[in-house]
Chains A and B, each alone.
Chain A
Amino acid sequence: MIKQNRLVYLTLLIAIVISVFPLYWMFVIATRTNDVVGQYPPPMTPGGELGANVARLFEAEQANFALGMVNSAIASVAVTVSTVFFCSLAGFAFAKLRFRGRNALLVLILGTMMIPVQMGIIPLYMVMVKLGWQNTLQAVVVPFLVSAFGVFLMRQYALRAVPDELIEAAIVDGSSSFRIYWSVVLPALRPGAAVLALFTFMGTWNEFIWPRAVLEADNPTVQFSLSQLATEYYTDYTLMFAGTLVATLPLLAVFIVFGRQIIGGIMEGAVKA
């Protein structure tokens, strides 16, 4: 039994080393000079060039990395705040208010989750051209202000977390439905809303394909900047890796602080699905 347990720990340890090593490697190369990157045996410990590489990163003309970081920060915060607000509001309506066509509309929302995003990328781009939004930040923000996944998640959460008696009591008190949402439902939804916020923020920060289609290299998001590094400076590994490191740090921080909630969110979602 003990032997078997050792084998379990060993296997899991190997899995974690494989999971974490590329992140560590990202850090090692970002702190080195280019001439050691191809050496065998490869360098396994960090060097002292991180500052210099990050400085080069922000000076790399084709990448516009600083602007990419700022754009992604603005877009991610805007999409997250708006998604949490609109999805919790709609989730509350679907879970707790009675109205004609409720179930049909909910099924419709679920159905939209099955549609692959890339299908609509060309016409979506043409819509942006019509609106004059190519190469603007709103093009990567406005279409994503509310998500089907979020509405469904918030509805499921509201069903469990908000007792009907609480809402009935508020109605008897004469509260309007928005007041009920704001002061009764939203506080109760907080844990679920936090999970939605985490996923939305991570998803928006990491989004690549749509920004690549609608933005230009002079006004990129951070992932677009990374792809510019990989395209324009593909022999300069320390520069590219400094970019991936800086681009990953915000999410690494989020993960270390909220890792438990993220894991809980994935596992709970899985049980319900």
Chain B
Amino acid sequence: MRPKGGHAKRVAASSLRSRMDKSVSPYIYIAPFFVLFAIFGLFPLGYTAWVSLHDWQLAGDSTFVGLDNFAALFADPDFWNAVANTLGMFVVASVPQLLIALLLASLLNRPLRGLTFLRMGVLAPMITSIAAVAIVFSQLFSRDAGLANWMIGLVGVEPIDWQADKWSSWTAIAVMVDWRWTGYNALIYLAAMQTIPRDVYEAAELDGASKARQFWRITIPMIKPAVIFTVIMSTIGGMQLFTEPLLFGQGELSGGSLRQFQTVAMYMFQQAFEEFDYGYGSAVAWMIFILIVLVALVNFLVSRRMSGVDK
């Protein structure tokens, strides 16, 4: 009798354990993400909103000031300068970047020899850290010792002080951004292009459509999701641009003597970690978020239209 009862007990215990396992375990498995996100993601986000409504300085003295930080921000010419710089560099960087990526992808989407080598070649910049990219390109764009000035000198152009003006510093920074990301975007387009069935092109060929026409009328519309994806990703990255302009200006958060390449992210950093004005810095952080949402929305609508239905 005894062994049998023990067996029944064991069965009951193990079925209880398995029921517990079934109902509780999944939550335990996904809990680490939510716990970490709550502490280091969600809480900071909500707290940014709270802090932005205060005059909050380093020592932790804080007074509630309502929307004063935002009012000050709207009247702050340095903030608007940073916004304009960020948007300007985003346009200067991302338009050529995505166009070149499209070209590269369409070239790579052919039966070529050494395809893996070619793909690794265009992706090589991705392994370089942004800090390293910024250091190397700052040298390439230095006024007295840079290859860029040497090369334009070969065709008779006077050397440029790349840091001095808006257009020149934006160009140098855009080149850094594009060098690192163009190959990555090309691979994303290539992946999308490879899912387009061959017979679509064959049919177009029979109809006498030129290669260029096929590209604009078939390829682009068919890879629309990939285009939108890269545009949104570039927007999120571009609105937070920080490391390249920071190191281009020898680590100064001011982004040049006249703030000619200071981005919003640099401005936020400057307010929070140089001026120790956490309240004002948090207000800038919220503005970055709003900027991302707005620009992403505009870009989403534009890229959907451009690569969408026939006009």
Contact = CB atoms under 8 A, between A and B. Distances in A.
A127 B191 contact: no
Contact of B282 (A115, A123, A142, A208): A123
Nearest to B226: A270
Contacts of B121: 12, 15-16, 19-20
A115 B139 CA distance: 34
A237 B138 CA distance: 10
Dominant secondary structure of chain B at its interface with chain A: helix
B202 interface: no
Given A19-B121, A123-B48, A26 B136 contact: yes
Interface residues of A, number: 93
Contact of A230 (B14, B135, B286): B135
Contact of A124 (B40, B126, B236, B246): B40
Nearest to B278: A122
Nearest to B190: A267
Interface string B95-127: 000000001100110101000101111111111
B127 A255 contact: yes
A15 B44 contact: no
Interface residues of B, number: 95
Contacts of B120: 255, 259, 263
Contacts of A193: none
A18 B179 contact: yes
Interface string A235-273: 001001101100110011011000110110011101101
B137 interface: yes
Contacts of A254: 127
B269 interface: yes
A38 B144 contact: yes
B247 A227 contact: yes
B134 A123 contact: no
Q: Which 10 A-B pairs have the closest CB atoms?
A: A38-B145, A231-B251, A120-B44, A16-B121, A267-B191, A123-B44, A143-B40, A123-B47, A206-B129, A244-B132
Given A126-B47, A206-B131, A248-B132, 4 more contacts: A16-B118, A109-B33, A122-B268, A262-B126
Interface of A: 8-9, 11-12, 15-16, 18-20, 22-23, 25-26, 29, 37-38, 40-42, 86-87, 89-90, 92-94, 97-99, 102, 105, 109, 112, 115-127, 142-143, 145-148, 151, 174, 176-178, 181, 202, 205-206, 208-209, 213, 223, 226-231, 234, 237, 240-241, 243-244, 247-248, 251-252, 254-255, 259-260, 262-263, 266-268, 270-271, 273
20 contacts: A11-B107, A16-B122, A19-B179, A37-B145, A92-B29, A97-B26, A118-B240, A118-B242, A123-B47, A124-B40, A127-B44, A151-B30, A176-B17, A202-B127, A223-B130, A227-B251, A244-B132, A263-B123, A266-B191, A270-B191
